[in-house]
Chains A and B, each alone.
Chain A
Amino acid sequence: MTILKATDIGISFGGVKAVDGVSFSVSPGQILSIIGPNGAGKTTLFNIVSGIYAANRGTIHLADEDVTGLAPHKLAARGLSRTFQNLQIFQRMTACENVMVGRHLREKCSLLPALFRTPSVTRQNRETRAAALDLLAYVGLKDVADVPAGSLPYGACKRLEIARSLAAEPRVLLLDEPAAGCNAVETEEIDHLIRQVADRGVAVVLVEHDMKLVMKISDRILVLERGRPLAEGTPREVRDDPKVLEAYLGQHGAREAARA
């Protein structure tokens, strides 16, 4: 069963084909990693799938519904959530408020009750905060719940973004380099976290440069090079693929690796 399916995606910026004929699909509980050298089009692909860019061609289906070209907030309402490579934290809000914003779609949000703070607003606030605190505990940030997010260390912000994206209870989660800039211990924590999320039945699409992490947790891997799909398969298949070695290490490097 497929939950997210992208077919023949392509986008050009000026004359550059940033993404060109890429297809992939992912099922609930599955972790699909997208890897490739810098500039391969991984983040661009994420931006298309999450509705931030409009693709020149191709279609995206979410749970059998054609969602091509929908705005990000509408995709979010259909169960797609993501994190960002360059942190997009709400700096001036507390960690807890960040996650509370993640619950936006689960909250009733009418203006008049908000202006006059009816009891229902207060009650909902309490529920949202409780849910947010649970998620913060889940990613190990409960102690800093009321600290402004802007003053949290980098690794904590990475986990905060994951907690915020989970708060929407997504069916598909796109993670853009969740371990980038994290030390070995932090990477380990994020590794566990992603596995747990997938085990809950969320389809995870991961862009990551940490090959140890990718090889360990991925069910499938899609390799991109200069916007085009290069290879796809299980971690083992991809690791042994000479084309992949060549893309990463060059021809000479690939010969060396083959001899080793």
Chain B
Amino acid sequence: MGALTNQRFLILAVLAVVIAVLPFVFPSSYYFRVASLVWVSALAAIGLNILMGQAGQVSLGHAAFFGIGAYAVAIGPAHLGIPPWAALLIGAALSAVLAYLVGRPILRLKGHYLAIATLGLGVLVALVISTESGWTGGPDGMPVERLILFGWRVSGSYTWYWVTGALLLVGTWIALNLDETPTGRAFRALHDSEVAAQVVGVDVARFKLQAFVIAAVYASIAGSALAFMNGFINPDQAGFLHSVELVTIVVLGGLGSIVGSIVGAAVLVTLPQALTIFHEYEHLMLGLIIIVSMIFMRNGIVPSVSGLFLRRARS
């Protein structure tokens, strides 16, 4: 127990130090922007990892909740006069309610069937966003008002670096908390054997739903943060490709590993930037790197590398 608690603090401390130290080595504001994108993607991925890595339930439509969060902070202030910060909370609540209502019937499905059902949810939300152009600006997207917190106008890539970094720290802290509780254990138990979890009294349907709602809220808040940061939002953020990107981050970093989701986000967000030197072969290289790393690190980057170190340490 002591060891686990220490590990939790160690992860948070390292993450805090990384967030604090990076600005000293960043040569331009462009780097702050890319890092903020990493923090936001990591936040969404951590939530999805609770659902996929811990509770073992796939979601191929997770960008839907990201989109709901993003459009909540765009539409709320512009059309309804809601303060931006309240729009973020309303977006998270809407995502939670939608996840709850949709999750109840579809989480009875397993494996591929669940994947298709969640994919359907994602497509549906993306479709609504791109067709209701009176509210959402349609495929062209819409501008997002600046976030104002207690009279402080949150803007600029430097400021957003710290805000998203703090959000990621809180998100990581909560996810690590959850892992070592009856709820976290129930998630992992139903992942390994649903039937065994049931016979020791775990209400499997209830816990799957909880994981789905938690993941939706994470994605929604991440979506809101991105919308505020960019000052503009378009339907791609809610689209299928973004859902796939989130799943890729989780699997690449390591299913079930919270740190893995952060590393996965860092790789998947920064790699395309680094690969621009390959010009038209950029996407080819990206795909190739993902394939190769999945072949050699089947459990994802973080579990594979830490496993390697543990074996070295033992021998």
Contact = CB atoms under 8 A, between A and B. Distances in A.
Interface string B153-192: 0000000000000000000001001101111111011011
Nearest to B5: A122
Interface in B170-228: 174, 177-178, 180-186, 188-189, 191-193, 195-204, 210
A101 B186 contact: yes
Contacts, number: 102
Given A52-B195, A84-B196, A93 B202 contact: no
Interface string A97-124: 1001110110111010011110001001
A116 B174 contact: yes
A115 B178 contact: yes
B1 interface: yes
A165 B193 CA distance: 14
A131 B263 CA distance: 36
B198 A107 contact: no
A108 B186 CA distance: 12
Contact of B186 (A50, A109, A124, A126): A109
Contact of B189 (A101, A108, A111): A101
**Which of B182, B201, B256: most chain A CB closer than 10 A?**
B201
Q: Is the interface of B mostly helix, strand, loop or mixed?
A: helix
A224 B191 CA distance: 34
A90 B200 CA distance: 12
Interface string A175-194: 00000000000000000000
A71 B198 contact: yes
Nearest to A72: B198
B222 to A, nearest CB: 17
B88 to A, nearest CB: 18
A50 B192 contact: no
Contacts of A102: 200
Interface residues of B, number: 28
A129 interface: yes
Interface string A78-105: 0001101000111111000100111011
A42 interface: no
Contact of B202 (A104, A165, A167): A104
A84 B198 CA distance: 12
Contact of B203 (A73, A107, A121): A73
B177 A90 contact: no
Contacts of A75: 199
A93 B185 contact: yes
Contact of B204 (A73, A107, A117): A73
B31 to A, nearest CB: 32
Q: Is the interface of A mostly helix, strand, loop or mixed?
A: helix
A19 interface: no
**Which of A50, A107, A124: most chain B CB closer than 10 A?**
A107
B208 to A, nearest CB: 13
Contact of A104 (B1, B182, B256): B182
Given A77-B201, A101-B202, A104-B201, A92 B185 contact: no
Contacts of A90: 188-189, 192-193, 196-197
B191 A92 contact: yes
Given A52-B195, A168-B200, A101 B174 contact: no
A82 B177 contact: no
B147 to A, nearest CB: 24
A184 B288 CA distance: 53
B272 to A, nearest CB: 32
A76 B199 contact: yes
11 contacts: A72-B195, A73-B199, A97-B188, A101-B186, A104-B201, A105-B200, A114-B178, A115-B178, A121-B181, A165-B199, A165-B200
Interface of A: 50-52, 71-73, 75-77, 81-82, 84, 88-93, 97, 100-102, 104-105, 107-109, 111, 114-117, 121, 124-126, 128-129, 164-165, 167-168
Given A91-B192, A126-B1, A167-B200, 11 more contacts: A51-B198, A72-B195, A72-B198, A101-B189, A104-B200, A108-B182, A111-B183, A114-B184, A116-B174, A125-B181, A129-B1
Interface of B: 1, 174, 177-178, 180-186, 188-189, 191-193, 195-204, 210, 256
